[in-house]
Structure 1
């Protein structure tokens, strides 16, 4: 089952306006993705009907996100995804006995602007790292992120990354251990010097702060934060926040 446009979703425009006007504490910077007239569009692919129900209900309750399509199998997802336009893909990589991973690669090849978040029951290091190698921007455990899919989608849509805390606690120490083991045998990369503001942003990334939180703390827009992050990546020659933090620690920046 999937919706071909917003008007076919659970909420009409009038209904979504009502949700917006009554949503407690609703306030969202105008320079961030997820505006009332242009919510972040999400496609959800998972075989578990209960999981799909939990996620879709959470996303549709907030006017900043909308579920434009759902699929319960690889075959159904492959057909529907190519017929839809969306911003974020939430996908179980074990879909149809592992074909979800193949589908993810197809999406990245044919729809490079789409950002993907893996949803999984596995918190094993190899599974997590393989997902990130395939290009996901987030990794969420099914049993620990109920109630936080909304935050994950908005974070990823606005240039950040989302990862379940349990998984982060497992993989980050191993990343640092691996770094320390290779530090003596490999010459550290030489990169362009970071500005003081970029260092501030990097320190907050290391503390686990999200893009919006960094912006609020530094009194700058989320777009500006994202620009600083991109500059940090470029200067340090890295592709992820974890890599940036790792090299910053090794270089004594933070």
Structure 2
């Protein structure tokens, strides 16, 4: 079979699979998940971009090859997920995750990196990332990783996930129990309203339009929600509030 024919068949398969995506999940062919891609490796960036573009459930809104360009694109574009390399040559992907969370707290971050040690992964999660994929051992689907995180899940390369599980000790478990049992600060009625809309999958812009407030005001509410619930991501906030009847 000719190479171009194989490529066409693979692309058709990806597009066909999107029709099987349950209609109650975020990321539909008519309303795709918006992705920002930042990686300084042009070849790897092209591989990921081609896969994302081939899936109707995902829309690649922009891509960049440096930390400086990444900061510009974060400020310029509305997006749901940022796929980010940690080593960008002119800066750190950690800084970009932190910057993204400061101005677009509802957006998710998925790391795509060659750095395999657990400390890098844990630091990325502490900054608010909900996915960590290793470039040399990711055998899955990049668009699938995007869809997982926007629907409240996490996407981690399997062998790294296993290593992280082995690294967790009883002290970390005790610390988590203390945090969970602690009483969170009370959310205002407006913050509860915003959180319910976040739980239903609305973006900051959509929430602002429905509540007739600015996108910046929505993001301020989301920051306050994160602070009060002691969480770093949208999925954590929804899970934490839902488990305690705050929604």
Judge same fold: TM > 0.5, yes or no: yes
Unaligned runs of 5+ in 2: 1-10, 184-234
Q: Tell me how far 1:65 sits from its aligned partner.
A: 0.6
Sort the Cα spacing of 1:130 and 1:189 in 2 relative to 1 into closer, same or farther, 3 A: closer
Q: Which residue of 1 aligns with 2:126?
A: 133
**How does 1:44-193 map onto structure 2 within 5 Å?**
44-176=37-169, 178-179=171-172, 190=181
Unaligned runs of 5+ in 1: 1-17, 193-225, 236-254
Cα contact 1:33–1:157 (8 A) shared by 2:
yes
- Residue 33 (structure 1) aligned with residue 42 (structure 2): no
Cα distance in 1, alignment partners of residues 146 and 161 from structure 2: 17
Q: Any idea what SS the aligned residue of 1:139 has?
A: strand
Q: Any idea what SS the aligned residue of 2:168 has?
A: helix
Cα distance in 1, alignment partners of residues 99 and 22 from structure 2: 33
Sort the Cα spacing of 1:233 and 1:169 in 2 relative to 1 into closer, same or farther, 3 A: farther
Sort the Cα spacing of 1:26 and 1:127 in 2 relative to 1 into closer, same or farther, 3 A: same
Q: Any idea what SS the aligned residue of 1:106 has?
A: helix
Cα distance in 2, alignment partners of residues 188 and 64 from structure 1: 36
Deviations 1:53-89 (Å, cap 9, x if unpaired)? 1111111111101111000011111112211111100
- TM-score, length of structure 1 as denominator length: 0.63
Q: Tell me how far 1:96 sits from its aligned partner.
A: 2.7
Sort the Cα spacing of 1:106 and 1:120 in 2 relative to 1 into closer, same or farther, 3 A: same
Q: Which residue of 1 aligns with 2:239?
A: 230
Q: How many pairs does the alignment contain? A: 181
Sort the Cα spacing of 1:97 and 1:167 in 2 relative to 1 into closer, same or farther, 3 A: farther
Q: Which residue of 2 aligns with 1:11?
A: none
Cα distance in 1, alignment partners of residues 90 and 240 from structure 2: 39
Cα contact 1:54–1:146 (8 A) shared by 2:
no
Q: Tell me how far 1:38 sits from its aligned partner.
A: 0.6
Cα distance in 1, alignment partners of residues 142 and 57 from structure 2: 12
- TM-score, length of structure 2 as denominator length: 0.64
Cα contact 2:112–2:134 (8 A) shared by 1:
yes
Q: Tell me how far 1:99 sits from its aligned partner.
A: 2.5
Cα contact 1:20–1:26 (8 A) shared by 2:
no
